[in-house]
Amino acid sequence: MKIALSIVIVNWNTREYLRACLRSIFAYPPEEPFEVWVVDNASSDGSVQMVREQFPQVNLIANEQNMGYGRANNLALRQAQGEFALILNSDIEAMPGALQALIDFMRQHPDAHAAGGQLLLPDDGIQPSCSERLTLWAVFCEQSLLAKAFPRSRLFGGYTLTWWSYDSVREVEQVVGACLMLRRQPGGSFPLFDERYFMYAEDTELCHRIRQGGGRIYYVPHARFKHHLGASSEQESIRTEMVKAYNRSRILFFREVYGAWSVPIYRLLIAMGALLRLALWTVAWLLGKPDRQHAARHVAMFWEVFKDAWKS
């Protein structure tokens, strides 16, 4: 039996989201044979037991330690048997017809090396899930809050295409790794993530490598998924470490893609952004909005992010 699609889900302490994700896949499966891989990164919330008991048809890899997002995905990608592979976050739920829509699109567009669907937030708003090339200008717009203040501006909101309606098929530089379909390479294997990226920016690097090799990447809005966004990083105790990890991964990307000269500029930009946010949250703390405890946590977080900007 030829498998059309291999779905790969990396999980770390998101048991209930993972359960909902798997339920959605089997409730709205593709019309062709498929397989599901769950790679658990040493969760302590009973995720592994839940998968074993409730989804015995799933191929489960239970790591004894947290191997990082890219490396965990690679474990399954090396064994996947599908014509295509779909990288899916554990906090995503497939909507009716979404999985088959991506398969059909890839078949109808043999030039497509990767594709991503439309991600809907819990309030049904559309999440910007594709982007242009990551540059220092994009980081400046992000860190200065100009992208947030002027999302409809092509100048300031160009990186994540917030000026656009996200309602039509579009060739893009990258799609987010939360929902990323890959085509097998001519040699027969799937493109793999760079395992130097523990978490964050590994999707940016992979899409950049695909584009550099002549591959084309598409955003496919009629393949729709519900995204609960940031389930693994929503725990207050680890948010600061997640922000720092995000910045460190981007430093690696800029060093590898643009050269060492870009790294000090990137560090300066994230330090500037941290100071700006620290100042805004300090004002919020003084005003007691939304409440002082909430504001104080953000002040502490961005102070740590500022200090980390200068570390190797």
pLDDT tens-place string over residues 219-244: 999 999 999 975 544 555 578 888 88
Q: Are residues 291 and 172 in the same domain?
A: no
Boundary-marking domain end, from 215, 231, 247: 231
- In this structure, what CATH number is given to the domain that contains residue 59? 3.90.550.10
User: What pLDDT, in 10s, does the model give residues 143-202?
Assistant: 999 999 999 999 999 999 999 999 999 999 999 999 999 999 888 899 999 999 988 999
Answer whether residue 157 is part of any domain: no
Query: Of 225, 9, 8, which is closest to residue 96 (Cα–Cα)?
Result: 225
Answer whether residue 160 is part of any domain: no
Q: What are phi and psi of 56, to 5 degrees?
A: -65, -15
Out of 79-88, 132-141, 295-304, which region has the weakest mean confidence (pLDDT)? Answer: 295-304
Domain that holds residue 291: 235-308
Give the percent of the chain with pLDDT over 90.
Answer: 86
Give the pLDDT of residue 235: 53
Q: Are residues 200 and 290 in the same domain?
A: no
Give the pLDDT of residue 173: 96
Q: Are residues 30 and 109 in the same domain?
A: yes
Answer whether residue 13 is part of any domain: yes
How distant is the alpha carbon of residue 305 from its chain centre? Answer: 21
Q: Are residues 216 and 250 in the same domain?
A: no
Query: Of 116, 118, 164, 141, which is closest to residue 270 (Cα–Cα)?
Result: 141
Answer whether residue 85 is part of any domain: yes
Residue 69 — very low, low, confident or very high, per pLDDT cuts 50/70/90?
A: very high
Q: Are residues 56 and 26 in the same domain?
A: yes
Q: Per-residue pLDDT averaged across 85-97, rounded?
A: 97
Amino acid 192 reads: L
Residue 75 clears pLDDT 50, i.e. is over it: yes
Q: Are residues 261 and 224 in the same domain?
A: no
| Percent composition of the chain: helix, strand, coil (DSSP 3-state, to 5) | 45, 20, 35
Give the pLDDT of residue 288: 83
Answer whether residue 152 is part of any domain: no
Out of 79-88, 212-221, 281-290, which region has the weakest mean confidence (pLDDT)? Answer: 281-290
Residue appearing with tokens 């500037």: 272
Q: Are residues 121 and 255 in the same domain?
A: no
Q: Are residues 37 and 95 in the same domain?
A: yes
What does the alpha-carbon distance between residue 45 and residue 219 come to, in Å, rounded to a whole number?
34
- Angle formed at CA 109 by CA 107 and CA 112, multiple of 5 degrees: 105
User: What pLDDT, in 10s, does the model give residues 103-115?
Assistant: 999 999 999 999 9
Q: Are residues 190 and 266 in the same domain?
A: no
When divided into structural domains, the chain yields a total of: 2
Answer whether residue 276 is part of any domain: yes
Answer whether residue 141 is part of any domain: no
Answer whether residue 151 is part of any domain: no
Q: Per-residue pLDDT averaged across 287-298, rounded?
A: 87
Q: Per-residue pLDDT averaged across 30-55, rounded?
A: 96
Query: Do 11 and 39 form a contact (C-beta atoms < 8 A)?
Result: yes
Boundary-marking domain end, from 181, 210, 231: 231
Give the pLDDT of residue 47: 96
Q: Are residues 275 and 181 in the same domain?
A: no
Q: Are residues 70 and 211 in the same domain?
A: yes
Boundary-marking domain end, from 231, 248, 278: 231
Q: Are residues 25 and 121 in the same domain?
A: yes
Give the pLDDT of residue 166: 94
For the chain, give the mean pLDDT: 93
- CA-CA-CA-CA torsion sign (129, 133, 139, 141): negative
Query: Do 13 and 47 form a contact (C-beta atoms < 8 A)?
Result: yes
Residue 290 clears pLDDT 90, i.e. is over it: no
Give the pLDDT of residue 151: 93
Give the percent of the chain with pLDDT over 70.
Answer: 97
What does the alpha-carbon distance between residue 181 and residue 298 come to, in Å, rounded to a whole number?
35
